[in-house]
Amino acid sequence: MSVREALLVLADGSVFEGEAIGAPAAVATGEVVFNTVLSGYQEVITDPSYAGQIITFTYPHIGNYGVTPIDDEASRTHCRGVIVRDSARRYSNHRASGGLDDMLSAAGVAGIASIDTRRLTRVLRDTGAMPGAFGTASESELLAAARAEKGTDGIDLVASVTTPSAYRVGSGPRRVVAFDFGIKATILRCLGEIATVDVVPASTSAAEVMAMKPDGVFLSNGPGDPAAVGYAVETIRDLVGQVPLFGICLGHQLLGRALGGSTFKLPFGHHGGNHPVRHEASGHIEITSQNHNFCVDPASLAGKVEVTHLNLNDMTNEGMRVLGAPAFSVQYHPEAGPGPHDSRYLFAQFDDLMTSGRF
């Protein structure tokens, strides 16, 4: 295989030399972030929450066990690109139906390998997530493209990933309406064990949801800035107190804003599979999977929520329950299995809430 030389250029002028992988691209742009997972690269790449972003994998060897369509988290890939240190030339796994390069090429996603990802991660850690561009174009072209990239702040990325029409999954005894803000397939599998799930577009109104007579409503993960999804905030505000609610990731942030709270952008986000989160009521530590750039400010919700989970890396809000209403949410991904399955109990908690209507 011939090597296609490529460059990665960040908006601050940092330049990294590498080689092109995946779909051919003279220029690919997006907000560059880093993810610390050791495995699960396919699930990360196909997570709709990465819309608008270029994913840097800090683990040096990516692609060694191949890919299989069974592990896709969405029907198509929404990230802008992939950055790795060492892209495996061969894969070995009895489940695999192809390699990482095959997957990227088929999805039309460009990538760049042989990058000094340790240096890149230090830059992003010290300066924060920033726009970047990579490809086979010249350094000057890539720098201009990086500086023209708008990033994810203030942009409604949910509209680009949500389902265009409603559909049904699962066969559990409950009836749940799940808002698709960029919902992952694994979340639907977990919900489908306890409920028959009607997945609806992000723009669905509260009246339309309540007309379906659900036992509960789920607010999904998704990409981008929660402040840019005002229509969802208004809908959730109308649903609070009317029906049990459970939110994950962006759903957590949208619930916070619906209650009158504020959100802010983290310097480089939380992206990885080993974030320690403390369950405040029990003191137990959960090792969690995370993928978000924004956070709910608990001080802005004083007297309205109880913070239930805390991130031990930076002490940010990782979970809350609404006081006086059957609603709760977490910032991390309980459906994911980064090794342990510490947080799957939250789906049972949602089931219990739909039974009793109270905590």
Q: Which domain holds residue 263?
A: 158-356
Both tokens of 168, joined, read 């049904």
For 79-100, the pLDDT digits (tens) are 999 999 999 999 999 999 999 9
Do residues 274 and 39 touch, judged by C-beta distance below 8 A?
A: no
The average pLDDT across 3-26 equals 96
pLDDT at position 338, please? 65
Asked whether residue 268 falls in the same domain as residue 182, the answer is yes
Asked whether residue 85 falls in the same domain as residue 210, the answer is no
Asked whether residue 14 falls in the same domain as residue 162, the answer is no
Which entry of 78, 271, 309, 333 is annotated as an active-site residue?
333
Do residues 180 and 204 touch, judged by C-beta distance below 8 A?
A: no
Q: Helix 230-239 vs helix 250-258: angle between axes, to the nearest 10 degrees?
A: 70
Percent of the chain past pLDDT 90, that is, above it, reads 96
Residue 188 included in any domain: yes
Residue 36 CB contacts under 8 Å (≥ 6 apart), including other chains = 58, 59, 271, 272, 273, 274
Asked whether residue 227 falls in the same domain as residue 328, the answer is yes
Which amino acid, residue 141? Answer: E
Residue 153 included in any domain: no
Q: What is the dihedral of CA 93, 23, 151, 268, to 10 degrees?
A: 30
335 is catalytic: yes
Q: Is the pLDDT of residue 308 over 70?
A: yes
Q: 163: domain CATH number?
A: 3.40.50.880
Asked whether residue 77 falls in the same domain as residue 21, the answer is yes
Nearest to 67 by CA among 23, 38, 98: 98
Residue 265: in which H helix or E strand, if any?
Answer: strand 263-279
Q: What is the dihedral of CA 224, 228, 234, 236, to 10 degrees?
A: 10
Q: Is the pLDDT of residue 340 over 70?
A: no
249 is catalytic: yes
Nearest to 170 by CA among 216, 103, 235: 216
Residue 297 included in any domain: yes
pLDDT at position 199, please? 98
Residue 119: in which H helix or E strand, if any?
Answer: helix 117-127
pLDDT at position 358, please? 77
For 204-242, the pLDDT digits (tens) are 999 999 999 999 999 999 999 999 999 999 999 999 999
Q: Is the pLDDT of residue 2 over 80?
A: no
Residue 336 banded pLDDT, cuts 50, 70, 90: confident
- Per the structure, how many domains does the chain have? 2
pTM of the full structure? 0.96
pLDDT at position 22, please? 97
DSSP 266: E
Mean pLDDT of the chain: 96
Which entry of 79, 190, 249, 295 is annotated as an active-site residue?
249
Nearest to 163 by CA among 143, 136, 188, 145: 188
Percent of the chain past pLDDT 70, that is, above it, reads 98
Domain end position, chosen among 114, 148, 182: 148
Q: Is the pLDDT of residue 339 over 70?
A: no
Q: Is the dihedral of CA 93, 95, 97, 102 positive or negative?
A: negative
For 119-155, the pLDDT digits (tens) are 999 999 999 999 999 999 999 999 999 999 999 999 9
Q: Is the pLDDT of residue 292 over 70?
A: yes
Residue 295 banded pLDDT, cuts 50, 70, 90: very high
pLDDT at position 319, please? 98
DSSP-H helix ranges across the chain: 41-45, 100-107, 117-127, 139-148, 158-161, 185-192, 206-211, 230-239, 250-258, 345-356
Asked whether residue 185 falls in the same domain as residue 259, the answer is yes
Domain end position, chosen among 94, 128, 148: 148
Asked whether residue 131 falls in the same domain as residue 201, the answer is no
Q: Coil, strand, or helix at residue 350?
A: helix
Asked whether residue 113 falls in the same domain as residue 94, the answer is yes
pLDDT at position 357, please? 77
Residue 159 banded pLDDT, cuts 50, 70, 90: very high
Asked whether residue 345 falls in the same domain as residue 199, the answer is yes
Nearest to 55 by CA among 137, 110, 122, 126: 110
pLDDT at position 3, please? 81
Residue 342 banded pLDDT, cuts 50, 70, 90: confident
The average pLDDT across 250-266 equals 98
Do residues 11 and 130 touch, judged by C-beta distance below 8 A?
A: yes
pLDDT at position 341, please? 80
73 is catalytic: no
Residue 1 banded pLDDT, cuts 50, 70, 90: low
Q: 135: domain CATH number?
A: 3.50.30.20
